[in-house]
Structure 1
């Protein structure tokens, strides 16, 4: 008996393991969480102490409950009530020759555990093991109690052990036809009223019947998650799901794995319906890696998604009318070298305003005499609008260093404000308060200190390269980086001064640059590979790369 149970346990375990490895699907068993009411009847066959074992009949009523299961098999609990008869004939194999036949009435109540295995959607073999209370009443062929029964030589109440094997054939989800047989081992040798030999009496049953099932687990999409708990009803059959009934989405991009053609998309990246990163221009480089998102169709690109620029002049090859431009040459929007316009400037090195004749003592407001000299410079500036100028304020070393620095800056600013008042663009002027750091004479004498108290106005570039301004709007969508944080759209250039996550810090930097006369602006960009939104502070725009480079050298700290 023990070997039989070990064999059955091995079969059950192997079947479940094979089912899980083969299907990988947690579909609920058809009897999962169901209650069954079963009526069965059949024949009994008794091995007792009479010479001839005979068949009789019985009937039973079963109540069953099957546990929730997503395996190929399902466990259940059973309770039963049975009534019937056992009989034998041919005379007893003892010294009671007058006793030729017995017929024992049996009534039992019991329960146990069963396991059903689904071989298909219809056929389910099962095994059952349990115990039962057994009442039995041995009688002769006339219906009279036998001798030892009458004299109460034994108790008519015993326990029996039951082992059962059978098949259930599903006619529908709620009805099955059953066939089976069991063995009943009784802890008594008195089923026939006779004690003989060393073995107890046993009897067998063979039966057929009908089961009706109620309730059960509702799982419409058969994914192993009850409908009440399923957050994704209607999942296609065969698709693996998580604990909520939703298809697995390993990279969390919103496209389930069974539809996802790009299973390892980085977090936060926008994807298409196939689960692949969006590639707006179709160049093979996804947008989150593409530095040039609007490349025309068919244009060869590098690993950054940008069109090739073999001569590195800032104009991509597909638009470059002059390929092979030497390194460092300035080009126009067609990639061709710019002409250099040289404008003659007057022989002018510097204009020096000393403090005594041009400023109030210890103050920054201009005296009338200073304006005569400044107007001469205004005329030059108006005639040569491409020029740029330094305005440097200086002091002697008398007094507080910080006060001297501030006074020198305020005097330089007064000069600049006068130029602006006369129509000069503020962006052409560089203002510096240098304090006592750059003396031109000794500070040990009054005449030396007077020479050191001055404002110097000097030309920044004597040879000026210029290009007529381009009447075109800067295209930020097609821009590319040409080095040193200088960007171009192929026509104009701008310089990136700084970049901040915090908008307020970017605006503070913007105001600082605008106070210096720069055409500053903020570009807001979303960079998933750098964890989100950045605020880029830039200045521009410039017609040539050299202009952008010169401006960067002055502005970028």
Structure 2
């Protein structure tokens, strides 16, 4: 038994430290070492047992050195299990002085902490063990109360009193008082950031205590998992992203990050407030629609109808006629004055060469009214059969239309019709009257 104390210390420490890497919660291991006191007063008298509990001078046996070592492991919910070894010299056996009897004990413990993670932590303990007094051993059942006073998260002072009851007649019933240093350890910190994995929201990435162990790579006070720009320092208002131009649009979403602009235009400015960003606006200082690249619609002919709505953008017209000039009665009369002078070969629809100049005049008038549509009408006198006159009037009207189309007048603007002798403008009883009735008219389609 001489070297039992030394062997016990070594065994307990080896068991404790070999299990450090096997834990899964913060500091589950606790090692205690310190001094113990044995109180065997009185013996055999149950009624007065413990009456002089604090009579240190007369009844406590104290070995002035480290005389106990214990180790325990948390098993959750405030419970822990452990083992403790102690040694002492007994010179006070109750009221009897003895000659330094040796005392050795090995105990198994079950402890329950009444509070968790507090500086002052009371606990109760039960267990059993084996005690040798003067090398005579007996089993004991134990019950005790104690308190841990934690100076730091891992280091504290433990004070405890335990009653050990021996059932054998030769066993020594006694109190054992313990005072020692406690060290907690064994928590796992995979990423080495000082925050145990159990409490670390990012256990494999080094982080900050303020963010439960998660990192803030750009140091802007917003943890990376909530930072839309984790590698660029920004503001909380921008979810951790920078806003260089201060327009309220984060640089990552800002099409113009160095110019203050509008959120609706992806952070770009709009000097003329026309809804087209300056970078896309061909007229940044004049308001205009996006359909015209930010420029105002032009009115080339100055007739008050914008080119986009003007069917005749290069010719001044009226609003009522979609920007095109209107054919007046005077123009209509002039047109027919020319048309009635068109000459044809006798009995045919061939236009005579001498009518070329008048055809040019007609074309010039039609070009001045590019959106107007006209009917080319053919008429004859009453000489000859009605069938022949009808056919001749139709062919002459068609001949004039084809001439005009051939010279550039759009075909959709012209139609041709023959009326034969049905619409005379003079009497057919005279040569002069019949000459007036043989005619072509070009009339506006209204």
- Please tell me whether Structure 1 or Structure 2 has the larger radius of gyration of its CA atoms: 2
Same fold at TM > 0.5 = no
More strand by share: 1
TM-score normalised by L of structure 1 = 0.37
TM-score normalised by L of structure 2 = 0.44
